[in-house]
Structure 1
């Protein structure tokens, strides 16, 4: 029986190390130096048992390879390689179907154990729960996980809106679940059997927005080599969900208004308008009335969109929803990602997560649970899987990190890091009802805590400071700012440099080496970012 493993890495030295480790364990490595070459091999060879994929490569990177493979349910399990600190990248990779990951540098033993697990459970990464397509409106809102009284009137209004054909405007902060509500409204509507087309207006290139929304004819402009059907026509007979509607350019707001009023669109270069029958749902995290007063949003369009307005409250205003959401995500991610060995959640985890403010709301909570599930090697989730939360708790101390750099026998260099497993714990109730109502009371934080801006505070009122500075935050850099929006690259870069300066006590050579940049580049970054320090 063939034991072929495909190694995809642009670095010749790393390829040789991986080849040596695999060959010594009885596998037959086949190598590719690029993503394009890897896809060609996978298409021509059906005996490959697993793929070891580097995420950072010139040309087609690892993420793009995963995207290409994601549409093919028969592809072998993929193990991704990542550098230390690249957990957020790993989370995205596993969302695209990666089976597991190894952190560079990793030992041959760690690699082989991961490969054996992938081969043993070949295909697990692509065994995802199929998205359900409902043909009736009866169960559409049952997937809305909530027991909050604040959400009861919101969901009641949404149920009423679903039965009509009028436009709905969903307002709320980033990550509160606007798209989930839009999907529930669509699936509870008479159009449930037709398409729901989602458009993120904030992510569309300005020069292509009109073409993407309304379509164009062949030859309508330079580069229009064929006809393109716009999103309005694509959603014909169904529902069009326009997310971040406040980002739509003013000149296109006129065409959108016409599409709503007249039920027709004007593709670029078309001789006559095209009739469309679309139910419109819009969403925004901005104050549209303020944009109207500033002249950045048309008033007539606002009133057309907001016939049925609803505001989703942020997670910090409905904390009783956090615990059921945690259980929901643990079960969902465990099922979809093959992480069913996680069957417990420590009480202090529930207390800490419930006390956290979650500026990124449900999306941030889900990402935190996803990352914790991927990192957890034991049967229970502990605070160790939530370092960004644990660093804010009273009495927190940075733990000693033990890294196994020992090389395996046979002259193969050390290429790995060991991660220890945790102890067993409290089982999650199997019969937990995750629907609206009927849920157990949430676990209360310890009696000595108060909630003050989401941070645990002792009853005496003394803030327990962590033993590391706030900039280090246990080595975790938040991608989301206090306003719930994505932080700028320069801010993240400055945080990373400050953290390295602190950890390596200002030793510039070591800081530069650890950050993967030259000393001259480091000094230039310090000047550009306004970071003051002295050479150690």
Structure 2
């Protein structure tokens, strides 16, 4: 039997999925990763209509996003987004198409989308970050709607992804039982957090929780550290050693990196699990223990069994219940919430927590969309621990700045991104024309100043789509603006106002257009005349 076969056998005998688990339905969803109002992060929109061949139209005005479990949300609402909707259309066989109409919201998925893009399960499973108008980032991904129930107790775990909710469900199922638990997962995924959650919801929650990293204990001292030792049992044993098992008596003992246990320790662990008794080093009388054992590993224990480095009976004893903690790259929809959580902690420490509650809805986002998308695309080999450290460095290096900036060292770190699948670009023949009928032709004199202003804002001050929406020639837009008392042109702006806005927006033309509310093309000319750069 080869390594893969043994792994399959052990996995299937320990946790064979039920028929219901095997037939879980996954539906496309959009989760807010970044938004100018950071309180919106984590809100979600299910695209269930696509499963029945329908369409979902997404604009800044509709539809409404919601908190997982049905909490209050709302439409994206950002003024940088167009009222002209993006369209999500079923393409059959688990595939969907994103259609972007000309003059609508700019969408970047690794590169700007022109016309449309088709995504299949190979892209939707890891998730596709979508940057909208350089202000909002959504993650297009798959999820199980039945796992979208309200979280009555998050167990100290940040995130609302399907995999995170499944870990919570496992904890609730096993916490009050006395069976040992083996937690598997890569380094930095939060295995100790899971172990503590099990302890806090067990019958032993009033007793001690002892955490031991076996990888950090010298192998020659591991047995004495765990099981205790009598005075004189070995060179240097000048006093009685209690040991972690006796220190955790009545409570929970968490053994991290259990795969690093030396062979003699494995034998002693197996005896404890089988009989509830242990022998301190140098002792000849068994000592009864009453300890709930929770172990964790980032190693492939099945492979170590084949190599003769780990005992199969010990694995079976440890795995009274097996919980797998997913790596961060498998729960990318949680990244926005995790960044927000760690950022709040760091900003409170430096007295800048107000940055997460902006008062100017048109200001440049504190978390730039391009940076948020890079965080989602990054592979995170160090998982949550690495993300927490990176957020801390971003906060510290951006102290006093209006938004987060990436220093050269972090730039190099994030530059090692493994590109996510970007989907297939649609040809002109595959991209259907917009379904919105053209506006009927009207007389310019029938357009009120309020209607003109609303149309300009809806089209981000782009005069051509504004004229099309109103049903008048583009030349008439200029006349209407000239006659309006409350609508300015780029020529009405003072040099000081343009320069100040250019500095505050850091040369971002789209942000300047939204703040100054003038034509993009005319503002670009003024900026060029003043010798400024965008």
TM-score category, normalised to shorter length: 0.3 to 0.5
Whichever of the two has the greater Rg, that structure is 2
Say which structure, 1 or 2, has more relative contact order (CA 8 Å, 6+ apart): 2
| Structure 1 length-normalised TM | 0.46
| Structure 2 length-normalised TM | 0.46
